Amino acid sequence: MSTDPTLARDLAAAATLRGSFLLRSGTIADTYFDKYRFEGDPALLRRLADAMLALVPAETQLLAGLELGGVPIATAMSLASGLPAVFVRKQAKSYGTCLAVEGGDVTGKRVLLVEDVISTGGAIADAVPLVRAAGAQIIGVVCAIWRGDGAPGITVMPDLPVRAAFTRAVRRS
């Protein structure tokens, strides 16, 4: 559990924008949560990485940051913990190494997926087959913020443990 009592407030203050925003759904909102605002702030990112590291299972051998938002968080967690990190593309690139999982060999390793914000888990569901195809054993997911309904979890992968540093209301979960 985080020993940083002001982190949730500071994340919300950095990332909550007011104005007129077109959402992916096509609706207009007067507030927008821009997660890249806290991912790009070194002090906040360090504090968030520390809070998320408290959720990492002891058997974890590799952190796997999902493109795009999971990459800076996994990197910060790696720097703070010494655990190696790899990076998961949305699809294998068509040139060079032609890999979907970059940064090192994951074969036979116990891998924890790292994501910034999860609402439905679609990006996780897309990444899992890519990481497994690379030979990894996925032991779970850790995210900064769970925005979905109910307890953190991926509906299409109910056996995959999901741990969240914060919930949609940006409170400690």
Report the range of poorest mean pLDDT among 118-122, 141-145, 166-170.
166-170
Are 123 and 141 in contact by the 8 Å Cβ rule? The answer is no
Report the range of poorest mean pLDDT among 23-27, 54-58, 69-73, 75-79.
23-27
Query: Domain segments of the chain: what residues?
Result: 48-167
pLDDT for 2 equals 54
Binned at pLDDT 50, 70 and 90, residue 3 comes out as low
pLDDT for 5 equals 86
Q: Which tens digits make up the pLDDT trace of 34-73?
A: 999 999 999 999 999 999 999 999 999 999 999 999 999 9
Binding residues for orotate: 119, 147
pLDDT for 148 equals 87
Model confidence at 24: pLDDT above 90 = no
4 burial type by CB count under 10 A (0-12 exposed, 13-18 middle, 19+ buried)? middle
Rg of the chain over all Cα atoms, to the nearest angstrom: 16
Q: Which tens digits make up the pLDDT trace of 93-134?
A: 899 999 999 999 999 999 999 999 998 899 999 999 999 999
pLDDT for 173 equals 40
Task: Give me the CATH code for the 48-167 domain, please.
Answer: 3.40.50.2020
pLDDT for 103 equals 96
Binding residues for 5-phospho-alpha-D-ribose 1-diphosphate: 24, 89-90, 93, 115-123
Mean of the per-residue pLDDT values of the chain: 93
Binding residues: 24, 89-90, 93, 115-123, 147
Express as a percent the part of the chain with pLDDT over 90.
86
